[in-house]
Amino acid sequence: MSWRFLPAFSGIRRKFLQITVARRLHGSPPIVTPTNSEALLTLVAISLLGRGVDTFAARAFKALALPDGLVTDRFDPAAAIEPLGQALGVTPAGWRDRMQRAHQVAHAALTLAARANIAAIPIHAPDYPALLRHIIDPPCVLWLKGVAAALNHRSIAIVGSRNGTPAGSMTASRLGNDLAAAGISVVSGLARGVDGAAHRGALDAAGITVAVLGCGVDKMYPREHAALAASILERGALVSEFPPGTAALPPHFPLRNRIISGLSRAVVVVEAHLKSGSLITARAALEQGRDVLAVPGNVASGCYRGSHNLIKDGARLVETVEDVLDEVGWRPVPERPAGASDKRHEFNQLDGLVEPGGTIGLDELLARTGRPVTALLAELSELELAGKIAKTAGGGFVRLD
């Protein structure tokens, strides 16, 4: 197998060369790696090997340096370099050249991270999430923007379709909101559709949410989620195994899915078709010993066939947050997060905005309640499921009770 640096890191290499040329031409101050740890530099270099192909390098490193998933005083990533080259099947001369180039790229990446206020969390650091360290192929380094403590919070992942139905987004928002209200962090991938709705639902409850990216945390994909990402940073975090400057490329997303499940106690799949990337996350969760749960949907819609297959194969059927908590054996925290709202009061308030048999439009509801659109849609979905309201042909809502 041929191991090389992929084009995804051309931006980092280009930036490194630009800085080097500038130093030579203009006598600018030398680059200072933002860490005193040679181990971190070595780990970043190792993390670049084989990127974009699979996680064989990560699995080999863990087998060599962390066979029990435990970090001891004897942990030395440099001691694993030579046997790692042998495991990857590279000749000694080729391996030395490859590691030299990897150290150069790693040095540039750490410098860019320091300038962008991005933390590099090595696998042996106390802040590195304990759950993630124990998977078979943990990233050697996590790049983080935001609150590091969010990575070691009680967490549940919510994943699903990027191009799903409004009902799927409503369900994801409601679950994200209810989990956050129970004091649980919501982990997802910041993608369109279900992921974004889950993050917003958690934020609407003033909760903690973590987004795992398929690019560097200094890049934004999709671009329209820039404001959402900024909100996440207030209490949660953006994380990635890809160094700053790495673009979002198709091979990155299946790789990042194992991190979404690895950070979480369980994965809830909302609205997944047969070829949904969220099924990759579910498979990774099973391999990691995590619980997999799925939300059922309309049998006439292909949007739920992947979810239904998971249920057929033994995944727990999820209707409410209580189903999730019961499956993992957790209880809600006694107090709601600061700033969180009382949903029961909001339901009563919303219920009283229109007389029985009367109709009201979504725009008017938004104006009269002042609620965030994702939270309002989630509440309307619950009222509809409870038989209190129904959608009209014109997109409004009629009160039934």
Rounded CA separation 143/119 (Å): 6
Residues 160-183 pLDDT 10s = 999 878 889 999 999 999 999 999
For the chain, give every domain's residue range: 7-116, 148-328, 343-399
Q: What is the model's pLDDT at position 343?
A: 44
- Residue 27 has a pLDDT of 34
CA distances for 360 relative to 171, 350, 365, 380, 399, angstroms: 22, 11, 7, 12, 9
- Under the banding of pLDDT at 50, 70 and 90, the label for residue 50 is low
The pLDDT of residue 57 is above 70: yes
DSSP 3-state of 157: strand
Length of the chain: 401
Is the predicted pLDDT of residue 379 greater than 50, yes or no? Answer: yes
Quote the pLDDT of residue 51: 61
Instruction: Give residue-wise pLDDT tens across range 127-152.
Output: 899 899 999 999 999 999 999 999 98
Domains 148-328 and 343-399 are alike in CATH topology: no
pLDDT, residue 7, reads 35
Closest CA to 399 of 111, 94, 386: 386
Q: What is the DSSP string of 333-364?
A: -SSPPTT---HHHHHHHHHTTS-TT-EE-HHH
Does residue 274 register a pLDDT over 50? yes
Q: In 3D, which of 167, 118, 157 has the Cα closest to residue 141?
A: 118
Question: pLDDT band at 24, cuts 50/70/90?
Answer: very low
CATH architecture of 343-399: Orthogonal Bundle (1.10)
Tokens of 303: 């949007």
Which CATH architecture describes the domain 148-328?
3-Layer(aba) Sandwich (3.40)
Q: Percent of the chain beyond pLDDT 90?
A: 58
